[in-house]
Amino acid sequence: MPSFTELSLIEMQTGLREGRFSSHELVEAALERIAALEPSLHAFLHIAADSALKQADEADHKGMAGPLPLHGIPIAIKDVLTVDSMPATAGSKILEGFRPPYTATAVKRLQDAGAIVIGKTNTDEFAMGSSTEHSAYGVTHNPWDPSRVPGGSSGGSAVAVAARLVPAALGTDTGGSVRQPASFCGVTGLKPTYGRVSRYGLIAFGSSLDCIGAFGRSSEDVALIFEIMAGWDALDATSVEKPMVSPSTSLHSAQGESIRGMRIGVPQEYFIEGMQAEVQTRTRAAIAQLEDLGAEVSEISLPHTEYALPVYYILAPAEASANLARFDGVRYGPRAEADSLREVFFKTRGQKFGPEVTRRIMLGTYALSAGYYDAYYGQAQKARTLIKQDFENAFEQVDLIACPATPTTAFEIGAHKGDPLAMYLEDVFTLPASLAGVPGISFPVGFDNQGLPIGMQLLAPHFGEDLLFKVTHIYQQVTDWHKRKPEI
């Protein structure tokens, strides 16, 4: 038997059900590996060793009577989601020491299904970033090359899965923060349709964009997590009440099935000058493989793609500037010493928000200010509609869209220091789907000549997650990129 941390989510589920090992053994092995690798990776902001072991013992004690799908399986949660017994910092000093009194719906559903939260993972401050370098608690390192970033903002969760610390982890994707780190770390990551997973208990960044997603080693593992956490929730008014094709049933029916006749569109705007050549070649090779498997591949156009980046960097900061107004030194976390209430606000925010968050609040406040609202925010909303319409038009011709997930592989830590625009450009291929609210999955399709993983993205119409899982699963059955792991 491989060592416990080598097991995938489904393998853990099966092994526990068959009584081949205990939850205690799984959790203990995960904690040992975390303890050994944290000094070099720094994937976690909080490790709940004692409570995880206690829950594992309880799970073993209960046994598998009426088996829950995630009974006794350790997982990790990005530290922008609340878990009631743990701190929640959102990677920021302004929430240092804050303990939320409730658990996010997505996490609660996983716990109710038996999962054991082993810890909270590192993130760019308030999920603003593409490298995890904006965390106030230090950078997370990419396990394929520790001198490189893991991507972000859900870098800690991507690393926790890639380094075999846990079989699955939750992240959030506002503009690419699951798909991009999944691609940098060689794992599979899903951004669901906006509204498919409740945002209750997610510390808000851009409320019209925020989605809770999942990382795993394969489409199958991610589908299992998604299926459990998705669905309507009375606590989130934007969560959608819509029946779901069960991804695991659709994967089951995909066994031995081909994707014959499936129409896959490749947007010409996603192969741009300046992107890394190997990313292009490997993505094209994976698309060719889908064609060999029976898909009908055609070139399509999403003509407003170039506006996604400027539109996102107006709308997301605008929403963030409103959402982050609540962090004032009164309600949560630390409070600066000051003589007046006004000064408490200014000083606490001035001292505790990091530079990227401050930049976004200023950008957002400016875009929303009386004299500029129409010119920036209003225009950006109109352009967002055009981007959404691009997808609607495309999905009249094709079932799925295939494209690169990121323009480059993982970059060196510090490479974009002092150049926020260069950092923003990392999101160029993930932002359009976020603005349109459509689901996307990113999964490994090869390596560059430095041995760094390359990820590709599939995008589906709203609520088409089952299709994403199915095609990715079929690809993963005939390839082994997703099984490669870093040597650490």
Q: Which residues are CB-neighbours of 173 under 8 A, at least 6 positions away? A: 154, 179, 189, 191, 210, 211, 212, 213, 430, 434
> From the candidates 8, 23, 78, 154, which is the catalytic residue?
78
- Bridge partners (DSSP) of residue 142 are 145
**Smallest distance from the beta carbon of 184 to ligand GLN, in angstroms?**
12
Q: By CB under 6 A, is residue 399 in contact with ligand GLN?
A: no
Return the number of the residue (174 or 409) whose C-beta is nearest ligand GLN: 174
- Contacting range for ligand GLN; rule: CB under 6 A; set: 21-29, 50-58, 125-133, 275-283: 125-133
Calculate ∠ Cα 98-192-71, nearest 5°: 65
Torsion sign across C-alpha atoms 306, 355, 191, 488: positive
Q: Of residues 134-163, which lie at the interface with ligand GLN (CB under 6 A)? A: 153
Q: By CB under 6 A, is residue 60 in contact with ligand GLN?
A: no
What DSSP string describes 412-451?
A: BTTTTTT-HHHHHHTTTTTHHHHHHT--EEEEEEEE-TTS
**Smallest distance from the beta carbon of 156 to ligand GLN, in angstroms?**
13
Return the number of the residue (59 or 405) whose C-beta is nearest ligand GLN: 405
CB 151 within 8 A of CB 184: yes
Torsion sign across C-alpha atoms 255, 397, 465, 80: positive
> From the candidates 157, 177, 183, 434, which is the catalytic residue?
177
**Using CB atoms within 10 A of its CB, is residue 70 exposed (0-12), middle (13-18) or buried (19+)?**
buried
Instruction: Determine how β-strand 453-459 pairs with β-strand 400-404.
Output: antiparallel
Distances (CA, A) of 327 to 14, 332, 338, 343: 44, 7, 16, 14
Q: Among this protein's residues, is 177 annotated catalytic? A: yes
**Helix count (H) and strand count (E) of the chain?**
16, 11
**Smallest distance from the beta carbon of 210 to ligand GLN, in angstroms?**
8
Q: Among this protein's residues, is 78 annotated catalytic? A: yes
Return the number of the residue (7 or 90) whose C-beta is nearest ligand GLN: 90
# of chain residues touching ligand GLN (CB under 6 A): 14
**From the list 74, 91, 114, 129, which residue makes contact with ligand GLN (rule: CB under 6 A)?**
129
**Could you give the string, one character per residue 311-350, with x where binding to ligand GLN holds by CB under 6 A and - elsewhere?**
-----x----------------------------------
Q: By CB under 6 A, is residue 127 in contact with ligand GLN?
A: yes
Determine the Cα–Cα distance for residues 376 and 296; give it in Å rounded to an integer. Answer: 40
Return the number of the residue (183 or 348) whose C-beta is nearest ligand GLN: 183
Q: By CB under 6 A, is residue 128 in contact with ligand GLN?
A: yes
Q: By CB under 6 A, is residue 211 in contact with ligand GLN?
A: no
Q: Of residues 170-199, which lie at the interface with ligand GLN (CB under 6 A)? A: 172-177
**From the list 220, 236, 319, 427, which residue makes contact with ligand GLN (rule: CB under 6 A)?**
427
Which residue number has the CB closest to ligand GLN? 177
**From the list 5, 8, 121, 130, which residue makes contact with ligand GLN (rule: CB under 6 A)?**
130
Return the number of the residue (180 or 476) whose C-beta is nearest ligand GLN: 180
Return the number of the residue (55 or 174) whose C-beta is nearest ligand GLN: 174
Determine the Cα–Cα distance for residues 79 and 202; give it in Å rounded to an integer. Answer: 9
What strands, in cross-sheet order, belong to the sheet with 453-459?
44-47, 116-121, 74-78, 168-173, 211-216, 188-191, 440-447, 453-459, 400-404, 263-267, 296-300
Ramachandran assignment for 463, one of left (phi > 0), alpha (psi -120 to 50 degrees), beta (any other): left
List interacting residues with ligand GLN (CB under 6 A): 127-130, 153, 172-177, 205, 316, 427
Which residues are tagged catalytic? 78, 153, 177
